Structures are given as structure tokens and as C-alpha cells.
Amino acid sequence: MNFTLNILGTASALPTSDRYSSAHVLDVHGRLFLIDCGEGTQMQMRRMGISFLKVDTICLSHIHGDHIFGIFGLLSTMGMLGRTSVLNVYAPAAFRPVLDFFMKTFGEGMRFEVDMHELSCRVPEVIAGTRTVELLAFPLQHRVETYGFMVREKEPAFNVKKDCIDKYGLTLAEIGTLKRGEDVVRYSEEGGVSEVITVPEAAYKPFVPRSYAYCSDTVPFPELSVWVKGADLLYHEATYPAEMKEMAVRNWHSTTEDAARCALEAGAGKLVIGHYSSRYTDLTRFLDQARAVFPETVLARELDSIEIPLKKAESC
């Protein structure tokens, strides 16, 4: 069960010769989430061999150009490739007139529906889900209405230990009880409890759920580390190095140390920093400053893939 982040773009406002605008594709169990869609997104997807038609969900954090300018080209390409399945788009309400303009001007002949879901929440909220995965949105603090996202696996059903099936002579109903995480209680003919088979004794979780959190343009604020608590992989913008703190605040952005402190307070597994200001070509100081606070930090790089490995629970 793969859980892979594919990094398409790492630039902030201005793309550079070797940095594209913000875009990530998260592959969870074969389902593709495109998170932000800066200029050049579809070209980067081509380079990484990511199918346009397999993307079923697009999450747009806000409507600044470096996060959405790639959407027109991508939607057009999907149409020319004959897409017919619904495309779900989660974005602030301000994106709707942009989408309406595209559909009215360029959407003729497109055979697929774009179902836009307007984001509006003050705390983390589940906005979509399947049997195994759920998508959450939460507000960030930027110059315009902005949201972060978390994609996480749902808690799996318990697996029943094979040797316990024979050991206790478990019935199908009792196996179902254990899989739901409930103890099996057996009764004597007199009506009293004759045996209790506990979940820890006879069952186990097959894996520990994984999660990815995406925090794009934002100034730091106390609630954020709580909202992304425990994320296995946390992406947090770090537009500026630490010494540019005043500029970061003035422009509603974060520094390397801001991102690292968020990861530290959240107890994240790994931090990925990106959204670099175009004034910096050497990112060594970005990495050094973040790692001084949170050692498990890596730089976002174009065309990199980061796998969140499956964490299996122990069985008997």
C-alpha cells in the first residue's frame, strides 16, 4: 500500500530556471491527490510519469497565481485526453469565478464534470474520504483566504491471529467481533460469563495509519502544530531563511526556523521545506537552519519522491 509524495514545484512567487511553482502529487494506495497547481504542473507530471487521468482530487490552498496558474492547461489536457470521470476540486470560494471563466471560455466539448467544493472551516474538518483514506482541510494565516490539507489513512480493522482461530475455536461471528476491536465474551448454559477472549490476546492491527500534512503560505500560529500533530510527513513552506524574519512576517510567510518549530511541536516524523524565495540559489543555509531545530528535515527538490513506509504492527 504505497503512500508517496511526488514534488513537482518548490518556488514561491517567481519560478526560476530550475524551480517550478508549487505543486505536489500525493499517491495513496494508487489514488492521486494534486495539491496546488502552479505554472508548469503538467510538464512536471509528464517528467515524473504521473497520469493526468488518474488524478481524481485537486486541492488548491489559495488563489495566488503561483499556486493555480497551471490549472487551465491541466484541465484542457484532461479534456483532450478524453477524460469522462468526475474531477473533484477543493478550493476557497474565490476560485469559483476563475473556474467558471475557464469552463465558459475553454470548456466546450469537455466530457467530464468539475465538481468544485468550496472550503470554509475554522478548525480542521474532514472534507472527503473513502473506505481507507480521508482528506482534511484547515485554515492557514496568509494575505488571502488560505487552507492547508492533511491526507491520512483510516484506522484499519483488526486482523485475527491465525493460531488463535484454532486455539479458541472461533466462530465467524466471533472473528467479526474481534476484527471490530471488541472482546469476545462467551456465556455458560447458566447465563454467566464462561470465557473472555480479549483483542490484545487474539488480534492485532495490521499497520499503523500514515499521514501527510501540507502547510503552504502562512505565518506561524500556535494552533497549527496541534492541527498537524503526529504527521508522518509534514510539508511546511520556508520562503525565507531565519535572518529574514521581519520580511517573512510582512509578507505573511514563514522562515526555516518557523517551519522547523512547527514540526518539532507537532512531533512530526519528517519535515520537508520548500516554497523558496527566488532571491536564493544556494539552499544550504535553509537546510542547516531547519535541522538545527528539527534534525529530520529535508529540502523539497523538483522531481523528488518521498515514500512514507508502511509501519506494520506486531502479530503473534
Mind telling me the catalytic residues?
66
DSSP state of 223: H
d(CA 35, CA 7): 10
Count Cβ atoms below 10 Å from residue 165 Cβ, excluding itself: 15
Return the beta strands (E) in 178-278 as ranges: 184-187, 193-197, 203-204, 207-208, 211-215, 233-237, 270-274
At 5, which helix (H) or strand (E)? Answer: strand 3-9
In angstroms, how far apart are the furthest CA atoms of the chain? Answer: 80
> Taking the chain, what is the end-to-end CA distance rounded to the nearest angstrom?
22
Nearest to 160 by CA among 118, 200, 123, 188: 200
| Residue 11, SS3 per DSSP | strand
- What is the torsion angle, in degrees rounded to the nearest 10, for the CA atoms of residue 280, residue 286, residue 288 and residue 291? -170
At 265, which helix (H) or strand (E)? Answer: helix 256-266
Nearest to 216 by CA among 23, 75, 71: 23
Nine-digit cell string for 268: 512530526
Nearest to 203 by CA among 168, 229, 228, 236: 168
